Amino acid sequence: MTNNSKNSISPKTVERLSLYKRFLHEQIERGSGFISSRQLAAFSGGTAVQVRQDIRVLGYTGSSKEGYNIPQLLLSIDRFFSAAQCRRAILAGVGNLGQALLINFSQRDAFPEIVAAFDIAEDKVDTVIHGCRCFRRTEIGEVIKDQAISIGIITVPPDAAAETASLLVDAGVTGILNFAPARIKVPDHVYIEHVDLTVTLEKVAFFACTTTY
């Protein structure tokens, strides 16, 4: 996939394709061989038209009678994501949240794979935590360059988030997933996603407590 073709695809489309992939794996485990755009839409909360537009990005088409062949559609989605060639990620911050992410990724065929972790705590450095080697924070640049890593996951305290992001960007990272409750500014060539658990939980609590039946 070229950079131009990547730029023409919206982040929402990529997000939905990832959701479809998860659902398709569940359907295979249940013995299903085909699936319709309406079923995928019901799962993702979208529309059948949107599903068909998303899958058209893959260059795959289904049958008007049977729908989509699940193994073939999964293969097309896997090829779509593998074409990005960013297969390796690092984790900055091995606290409770960081370790929870490592456990989650170690229990499945993760894409991308977390290949290294970093922390300032001496009792974590030079150990293997949930299958992932933990390095000193000062080694971030060296490890990223040596292993050609493009993705960084930040789970450090908020006051360390901006500096950590700068270290990642300076070392060549071009994609960041930030779990720290702090907004981080990065250069235009770096893609960043903020996951603020506090904001999300407060939003859920607000609507949960104001909903009437």
Tell which residue, 9, 7, 19, 18, has the closest CA to residue 53: 9
Query: What are the chain's domains?
Result: 3-82 (1.10.10.10), 88-199 (3.40.50.720)
pLDDT digit string (tens) for 38-82?
A: 999 999 999 999 999 999 999 998 888 889 999 999 999 988 887
Q: Cis ω on the peptide bond leading into residue 112 (within 30° of 0)?
A: yes
- Angle between helix axes 37-44 and 48-56 (nearest 10 degrees) is 100
With vertex at residue 77, the alpha carbon angle to CA 21 and CA 98, rounded to the nearest 5 degrees, is 55
User: How many residues comprise the chain?
Assistant: 213
Cβ contact 165:184 at 8 Å: yes
pLDDT digit string (tens) for 161-183?
A: 999 999 999 999 999 999 999 99
Cα torsion 181, 95, 90, 5: sign: negative
Cβ contact 27:35 at 8 Å: yes
- Segment 127-156 mean pLDDT: 94
